[in-house]
Amino acid sequence: MSRLSARKYCAVVGVFLAMAAAAVLLAPLVGLEKIDSIDALGEWVRNPSARPVDVDILIYIRLPRIFLGLLAGAGLAAVGAVFQALLRNPLATPYTLGVASGGSFGAVVAYYLAELVPGMAAAWGPVSLVQLFAFAGSLLAIILIYMLARTGGRLSTNELLLAGVTMGLIFSALIMAARYFASPGLLANMDRWMIGQLSWATWRDVEMLAVLVMPALAGMLALARPLDQLALGEELAGGRGVNVTRLQVWAFLLGSLATGSVVAVAGPIGFVGLLVPHAVRRIVGPGHVLLLPCVMLGGGAFLIACDTAARTMWHAAELPVGILTALLGGPFFIGLLIRGRRTGKG
């Protein structure tokens, strides 16, 4: 970090910012419905009283979806990077640790409550019941995993992944049970996000996600230096003056908040938290002061790109983005496992 000048820092973050900006600007131009955005916008500016339907598609269908992708991708990727630093394990992500499953379960419970108790469906400002429960579910999952996998102050890869997988299975079973007893209407509601997708996004979804994810991202950026210290172990970090327990508590809280709020709106989109931190770490190095902002911007750009591909590659229908990220991320995850075994690391 000592060699990182301010200029180089701005240049690197700038490149990632440009990437995210390019994704936001270019992605709305493509879609199954052929619209000529530039012409339509020009027409609308010349004659504001008659808004062309193409502009409606752009503003109410494509743009919210793109901003949702930006926020969700940034959130999931950043949580991946933070969990990897915290658990000193490159395979830790909100998805592989079952944190996303915990969030899904929380969301399912909230959907139930909303149906059973009519008044419960209310939202407080932009924050909805589903989000709060998803946050609680994510937090519950990460606390359980941490307690399970923590033996003698050190976390082993095997225990961590097994705990995460088990947690995911238990939460999945609970979700299945919920689905089994759900009414058809409720079932449709649940299935909407269970696969992990960004369609049906509205500006309200974007707003709901932004109020929770933006503070979580800011908080994670503030943890960058202490997270660096964990790379050589909690003991050395503690000796250098890091309050390790407080760092863990904050990281888990912020990580659960980001995961839960993304899951509540977009469903459990897998592997963004694995693919993006790994790729970005290769480019900018492991220092979190630079890594975290780049991971956030890169994660947003990546999810927008995946979603754009998912909604345009098939002519018959739009593919949920969760399917695409899982198909990309699964083999990557297995590759990392094999490499970790070969080098004896991880």
Cβ atoms of 325 and 196 within 8 Å: the answer is yes
Among 239, 330, 331, 335, binds another protein (CB under 8 A): 239
149 binds another protein, rule: CB under 8 A: no
157 binds another protein, rule: CB under 8 A: no
Among 214, 286, 312, 323, binds another protein (CB under 8 A): 286
156 binds another protein, rule: CB under 8 A: no
3-class DSSP assignment, residue 27: helix
Binding pattern for the stretch 64-103 against another protein, x by CB under 8 A and - elsewhere: ---------------------x--xxx-------------
Q: How far is CA 341 from CA 92, 93, 274, 329, 333, in A?
A: 16, 19, 18, 18, 13
Rank residues 85 and 321 by Cβ distance to another protein and give the closer one.
85
Rank residues 165 and 289 by Cβ distance to another protein and give the closer one.
289
Binding pattern for the stretch 287-316 against another protein, x by CB under 8 A and - elsewhere: x-x---------------------------
Which residue carries 């082993």 as its tokens?
156
3-class DSSP assignment, residue 117: coil
283 binds another protein, rule: CB under 8 A: no
Cβ atoms of 164 and 289 within 8 Å: the answer is no
Rank residues 42 and 239 by Cβ distance to another protein and give the closer one.
239
Among 48, 119, 185, 241, binds another protein (CB under 8 A): 241
Return d(Cα 283, Cα 158) in angstroms, integer: 28
Q: How far is the CB of 281 from another protein (least distance, A)?
A: 7
340 binds another protein, rule: CB under 8 A: no
Burial class (CB in 10 A: 0-12, 13-18, 19+), 46: exposed
Left if phi > 0, otherwise alpha if psi is -120 to 50, otherwise beta: which for 17?
alpha
Q: Which stretch binds another protein (CB under 8 A): 162-170, 229-237, 302-310, 318-326?
A: 229-237
Rank residues 138 and 157 by Cβ distance to another protein and give the closer one.
157
125 binds another protein, rule: CB under 8 A: no
Query: Are β-strands 123-124 and 154-155 bridged in parallel, bridged antiparallel, or unpaired?
Result: unpaired
User: In 204-215, which positions are buried (b, 16+ CB within 10 angstroms) versus exposed (e)?
Assistant: ebbebbbebbee
Q: Which stretch binds another protein (CB under 8 A): 58-66, 179-187, 225-233, 248-256?
A: 225-233
Tokens representing residue 185 in the block: 């209407």
Q: Which residues pair with 53 in a beta bridge?
A: none
Q: How far is the CB of 339 from another protein (least distance, A)?
A: 13
What's the distance, CA 152 to chain centroid? Answer: 31
Q: How far is the CB of 22 from another protein (least distance, A)?
A: 28
Angle at which helix 157-181 crosses helix 184-194, to 10 degrees, equals 150
10 binds another protein, rule: CB under 8 A: no
Which residues ranging from 262 to 281 are in contact with another protein (CB under 8 A)? 281
Report the interface residues with another protein, using CB under 8 A.
1-3, 85, 88-90, 224-225, 228-229, 231-233, 235-236, 238-243, 281, 285-287, 289, 345
